């Protein structure tokens, strides 16, 4: 589990795309984390998706992304130099500063508009149609792994405010209209919707 509070801002150092039938990819990411504290098999959220560390070198770590991950997230679009929001897995006793984030991306959203709003920047995001029902005002979402509070919802679009600190310390500071972003909906919203669906089906069948 994660919290959506980014603790390092890395970049893709190199990548190697698989040539076999699985069609996955190895991504080596430059990091400020003390790499001697990272062990192979550790989980690190990389701009949303939870990926497993398979190798460590000075100043970098390597993770493996499956073909499924590449197809369902923006990772298939990454190149050398792509900025990556990093968060190590939550440990028992750690502060839960954002919201519970699983590292399992639900879909890819698109940044529609970016405009100044005071000291912050307001993003308008277009969510995939099948995920829009899970997004509510004052609820939580994770965009490229960053925990954010939803300000307003209109149809399939919703707004979030990006404060100066987040702009400076995550990839959202470089995001431009048209850019695709990894979206994870709130786990609680997913289960509430599921319970409502089951309850409604029971009433209909009863």
| pTM greater than 0.85 | yes
Give mean pLDDT, residues 156-176: 97
More confident of the two residues 53 and 199 = 53
Asked if 137 and 129 count as a contact pair (C-beta separation under 8 A), the reply is no
Convert the pLDDT of each residue in 147-163 to its tens digit. 999 999 999 999 999 99
Give mean pLDDT, residues 183-190: 84
Considering the chain, what percentage of its residues have pLDDT values greater than 90? 79
Give CA torsion, residues 74, 75, 81, 84, to 10 deg.
80
Q: Which residue has the tokens 């969510």?
A: 127
Q: Please, what are the domains in the chain?
A: 8-88 (2.40.30.20), 107-193 (2.40.30.20)
Asked if 88 and 34 count as a contact pair (C-beta separation under 8 A), the reply is no
| CB burial of residue 186 (10 Å; 0-12, 13-18, 19+) | buried
Give mean pLDDT, residues 5-12: 96
Asked if 39 and 80 count as a contact pair (C-beta separation under 8 A), the reply is no
């Amino acid at each position: 589990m994660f919290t959506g509070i980014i603790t390092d801002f890395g970049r893709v150092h190199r990548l190697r795309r698989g040539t076999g039938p699985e069609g996955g990819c190895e991504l080596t990411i430059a990091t400020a984390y003390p790499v001697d504290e990272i062990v192979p098999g550790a989980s690190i959220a990389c701009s949303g998706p939870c990926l497993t560390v398979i190798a460590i070198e000075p100043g970098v770590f390597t993770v493996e992304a499956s073909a499924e991950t590449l197809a369902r997230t923006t990772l298939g679009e990454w190149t050398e130099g792509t900025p990556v929001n990093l968060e190590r897995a939550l440990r028992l006793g750690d502060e839960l500063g954002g919201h519970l984030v699983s590292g399992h991306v639900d879909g890819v959203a698109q940044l529609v508009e970016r405009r100044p709003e005071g000291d912050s920047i307001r993003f308008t995001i277009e969510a995939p149609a099948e995920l829009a029902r899970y997004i509510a005002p004052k609820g939580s979402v994770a965009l490229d792994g960053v925990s954010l509070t939803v300000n307003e919802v209109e149809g399939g679009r919703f707004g979030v405010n990006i404060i100066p600190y987040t702009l400076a310390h995550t990839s959202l500071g470089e995001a431009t209209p048209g850019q695709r972003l990894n979206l994870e909906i709130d786990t609680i919203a997913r289960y509430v919707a599921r319970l409502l669906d089951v309850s409604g089906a029971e009433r209909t069948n009863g």
